[in-house]
Each structure stands twice: as C-alpha cells, then as structure tokens.
Amino acid sequence: QAQLVESGGGLAQPGGSLRLSCKAPRMILSVFNGYTIGWYRQAPGKQRELVATITFDKSANYGDSVKGRFTISRDNSRKMASLQMNSLKPEDTAVYYCNLHRDPPPPGELPQGHWGQGTQVTVSS
C-alpha cells in the first residue's frame, strides 16, 4: 500500500492562504508518474468532494467552489503535489485528503487508488 504523507494544514483567517503538500516517498518514480493526483475535502456532516486534480502532464481540473482561488501543482521528480489555497473562506474548512488514482471515477463518485490520512484546514477569524 502506498504511503502518502500530507502536510500544511492548520488555521487561517478569512482571506488568508495555506499551502498543502502531498508526498509519496516510498513510491517508485515511474509508478508515481502514472497517477493522476487529486485533492478532496470533507467538511463535518458533508460528503467528500473534489477540490482539484492534476494529471502527469499537468492538466488541472478544479471544483467550482475553488476555481480562481486554489492552484494545484505537481513535481514529478520529487514525487509530490501541492495545493496553494488563497482567498480562503470559512466554508473551505474541512479535512483535505490527497489521492492518487489511474482511472477517473464515474461522475459523482470518488476515485479508487491511494488516499492520504487527511489534514485539517480551518478558516476562522
């Protein structure tokens, strides 16, 4: 089972920024490069939802609620991905999960593959 290490969560004020990172230190590089990387989030009492995904060739896709505020990136040589979150809002408060998958999920479903343990992001004044 691949180990994904997430970091960068914490407390931010509305309008502030945070940067999340996801690393796969034990994964073989060629295997890592075959995955699409995604960030998903789950707020209390809500379903887990898409935040952003990025393919090996760095084609990115964003959930409607974060477009224009969040930016996903990946560094294949370092086997890591990042999520830069700007203009944070209280409704961004959630546990954020990193995911690696090969096959895109059916509409409305979550992908299979590897999941990180999650990192808490809280946006509050």
* pLDDT single digits (tens) 96-105: 999 999 988 9
Distance CA(79)–CA(122), nearest Å, equals 26
Per-residue confidence (pLDDT) for residue 3, from 0 to 100: 87
**CA nearest to 35, candidates 62, 65, 2:** 2
Contact 8, 18 (CB under 8 A): yes
For residue 87, give the DSSP letter.
S
* pLDDT single digits (tens) 12-22: 999 999 999 99
Distance CA(101)–CA(122), nearest Å, equals 26
* pLDDT single digits (tens) 36-63: 999 999 999 999 999 999 999 999 999 9
Q: Which amino acid is at 120?
A: Q
The pair of structure tokens assigned to 32 is 């890592």
> To the nearest whole number, what is the mean pLDDT of the chain?
94
Q: Average the pLDDT over 99-117 and give the result.
A: 91
